[in-house]
Structure 1
Amino acid sequence: MNDPDGRGMLRRKAVTRALRSRPGQAGWQRLALRFARAGHGFWLDDCIDRASLLAYTTLLGIVPFAVVVFSLWNLVGFDDSLRIQLNELVLRSFMPSVGETVLRQIDRLAARGTQLGYFGVAGLAVTAILLIQAIERHLNAIWGVSPGSRWRRILRYLLILVFGPLGLAASLVLLGPIGAMLQWFGPLPKALTGLTALVAFSVEAGLLSLVYLSLPAARVTLRDAFLGGFAAALLLSSGKLLLGLYLRFSTFESLYGALAAFPIFLLWLFLAWCGVLFGAELAAAREGRAPAA
């Protein structure tokens, strides 16, 4: 939007100054002001539009990314039980109730993709890297930093593409014995469900924190990344709950029939990216930082 007289920038600076912490304020007041700065940045950085773009980009790149992940797992020698655990984790943490239909299709397409051979998987890896690049571009815009040198970025993409799936597999291997131990307490189904949900939430918050640490070209502290990751995971869980309530009382599924899963999945991707971008704004909302244009 054009702002030839600079009034928008003046308003932005005025709001930023008003949202700064004051000496002697309590910790909860400083945290509340940080959330206010994050909300201000979310609006000024056009994060709603960015979430829409990332939702469509994710819809196109999620299958190639899953193919690369499963191919890497097959190359290392992990069995199919990890894929089952990943499906359960994604359904429990990230997707609403209709996600099972979409996840089943993604899993089927990804299983086909692993049979393409090395050159086919390498071609899909390029698409997965483009997805990572799109996420990095929007995060850099939130932090207000330049992307850095091309070769350093390519190296970072490859490291994320290789060590990200391996780290996820390692976490799933560790969660397997925990799940088996929890199932030993059969007479406590409510406690089992709550503890399982807590473990899934912790994994979700940890993964989002790693995204904020590794992808932006800015220096992000562990404290800022974990704060943003926790808030984003909380927003994802809330969004999944609200979307489930909306679908329960709406005529969306009866209107679209069997095709309802994919527009609902696209809507969920949009809500999820809104939560992830707000978490990025919160991680970047340090004192004295003005939101990016």
Structure 2
Amino acid sequence: MLVTAHELINDVSSLPTPVILDVRWQLGDTRGREHYWSGHIPGAQYMDLPGDLAGQRNVREGRHPLPSPGDFEDALRRVGIDNDSRVVLYDDCGNTSAARAWWLMRWAGKEDVFLLDGGLKAWIAEGEDLAVGPGNPVSRGDFAFDLDHMLTVGIDDTATWPERGVLIDARTPERYEGRTEPMDSRAGHIPGAVNMPTGNFLDERGHFLPADQIRRMFADAGVTSGSNAVVYCGSGIHACHALAAMAVAGLETGRLFPGSWSQWSADRKRPVALGADPR
């Protein structure tokens, strides 16, 4: 599911070329499209995370609920994706946002979806040029949504998951422990959740760690296949990166709690744990 920058350079010089999507977005930085205009991989189309990879924010479902199947299908068609397209995704933050697009496309039944390991920085490190501006228009694709190829759980199942498996909180330790909460109404974590910050799956260059090292990290948390794991984060974005790390490690991909902490913390009836201890 990973391609290197060198492999992508070879891909774009031969036919058929992959569909390349720029998915730049970070918490607190809503200027992803501006960054794309300032410089992107030639031929890449921009995909807006809040607009294309999430539904409308609401208290009941959280800050970045899953998009409706119809809306997501339309978004993929608009950037030229067909049923048989090979898709390569990238961002400039270790694939922590591009992984959301990867997970959604797999959820929608798209098989040939890959992450550019190291993202835009890896492309630049190869000495390749960037294109500027809004990008070239593409023909509308014919991709057809086929639901539920990736598993999700709702808020009630998430509440009891620590008794049945491993509940993983992919946020930073500061947010997990409740020392800070920049986005949501309450600080802390879901009782019973273990903390596995998704940035820990990356090296200093923003590349995924070796598969065996990631497998050991999950094994230390009690996850040996992924089938017994549920992952959440702040709003369901970075959790997809942890699920992508499972796939990189060769593990069966776990389940996503889409509403994540933004949904849980908004419900005042739900308990909150503070500190480094899961309970």
Normalising by the smaller structure, the TM-score range is: under 0.3
Normalised by the size of structure 1, how large is the TM-score? 0.23
Question: Which entry has the higher C-alpha Rg, 1 or 2?
Answer: 1
Normalised by the size of structure 2, how large is the TM-score? 0.24
Structure having the larger proportion of residues in helix: 1
